Chain A
Amino acid sequence: MPTPCDQTSPTRDETVHPPSADPFVGLRVAITGGTSGLGLALVREFLARGASVAFVARGRERVERVARDHPGSHGIVGDLSKKDDIYPIAMQMAGELGGLNVLINNASDLGPTPLALLGDTSCEDLERALATNVLGPFRLTKALLGALAASARDGRAAVVVNISSDAALNAYPRWGAYGASKAALHHLTCIWNEELAAEGVQFVSLDPGDMDTPMHALAVPDADPATLKSPEVAAREVTDAIRAVLPVRPAM
C-alpha cells in the first residue's frame, strides 16, 4: 500500500472480495465536479457499490439531469471557486447524507485554454485555477472536517481524496497554472494527512492519469482517445485506492 502522501497512480486491485464485505455499502460520499468526466464516473461507481452519493457542479440543468438519471444521488448546484458557495454546499452535503465518510475534491480548472506559456497566462486565469483547485478544496475540506472527524471517532471511514495530476510533480511547459495549482493541492493533502492522522481523518492525493474527458479534450484537442484511459476505469482505480485506506470491518 502506498503511503497516502505518495501521489499514487493507482492500478487495479485484483483481490477478490466477497460482496458481503464491500465496505462501500452505506458509505456517505461527496464528489465535486460530478456531472462530467471522472466525477460523473465516480458518482456511478459509488452508487453501483451501494454508497450514498452527493455531488456538486455549477450548471443547474446538468446537475438536475444527472440527479434524475441516477436515482438515489443528491445533486447540489454550486461553484467551488466562490467563497460564498462553500458553506451552502457543505451544509447540503452533510445534511442530505446525514454526515460524511468520503470527500472527493475532483472539480478542477485548467487555467488558460488553449493552454498557454506562463508568460502568456493572464493573472485572472491563474487566480481562477488557484480558486478552483486549491482554495475551493481547502475551504470545503475545512467546512466538512467536523463531519469527517465525527465519522472517525465513531470508528467509521473518514477519507479525503484530492484528485491530482502528474503535472503537479513535473514541469510541463504550458501547464503552468494547472500544474502549480495541483502542486499546491498535493502539498496541502500531505500536510492535512500529517496533522489529522491522530483524529483518524486520512488524506490521499491521487493522479488518475490521462483520461478521455472533456477537460483533457480542452487541454489536448488532438489527442487520440484510444491512447487515453476511460473515466470508468479511472473511477474504479480511485475506489480501489480508497478501499485500501478504509478501516477494516469484519464481514457481516
Chain B
Amino acid sequence: MAEVTEPFEFRQCISILKSTGKKAKDLRKLREIITLISDECIFHHTYQYFLKGHILEYTNDFAQWAGESLEERALSEHLSNIDPYDFKAINDLRNKLLEVIDNYLENFPEPREAMPGDEFYFNETVTFIFPIGIRVKNLAEFLTALKYVDVGAIYYHFFEARIRLGAGIDDFSRWIEVALGKKELVDKIRAIDPFMHTVEGIREHLAEAVEDEVKRGMEVIDRCLTSL
C-alpha cells in the first residue's frame, strides 16, 4: 500500500465541565439567559452535544430540555432542526436560537415551567486537546487506528474539525483528499450526516467506507493474479 509523506496524526479532546451558576425554569428565563451567556456556554450546549452519547432524539441540549423537561414537543423539534455548522460565528447561532424561541413564544406565550430540579443548567467547558501517539501513513493503518481510538478522537477529528476547517469538512476526509487523493472516498465520508449518528455510529460508517476502499485496492491484486 502506498505511503504518504504527510502522515495523519490522531489527536483527541477531553472536556471538563464548568457551571455558570445560571439556570432557567421556563422558556422566558431560558431566552433571557441565552442573550447573556458566554460563547463557550452556547458552544457547549450545541456543538458538544454529541460528545455526551445521548440517544438521537435531539441534536442539542436546548432541544432536549424543551422536549424532556418542558414537554414542548414542537419547540423541541424546531430547536433540533438548527444545524450549528451552518453558522460562521457563535453569535449567529445564538441569534438563531433566540429567533426560534421568540417565534414559539408568539404562538404559545404561556409555556409551562420545569419541575424543581429539572431546570436548564447553563454550563461551559475547558477542553484539553492532546496527541494520542498514533500516526498513520496509509489507508490500512488508518483503518486499524480508526477502530482502536477512543470516541473522543473521532469527535475531535469529525465534529470539532468542522469548526476549525469550516464548510462541513472534517480532518479525516481532508487528509484522504490531500495526502491520498482518493476523491470517491472523500465524497463518501463527507456524505455522512453528523447529526444522524452517535459518535460510535460515525466510527462504524467511517470504518465501513475506508474498509471498502482498502478491499478494492486488494481486489486489484486478485485480478492481477487471475490474469497470470
- State whether these chains interact: no
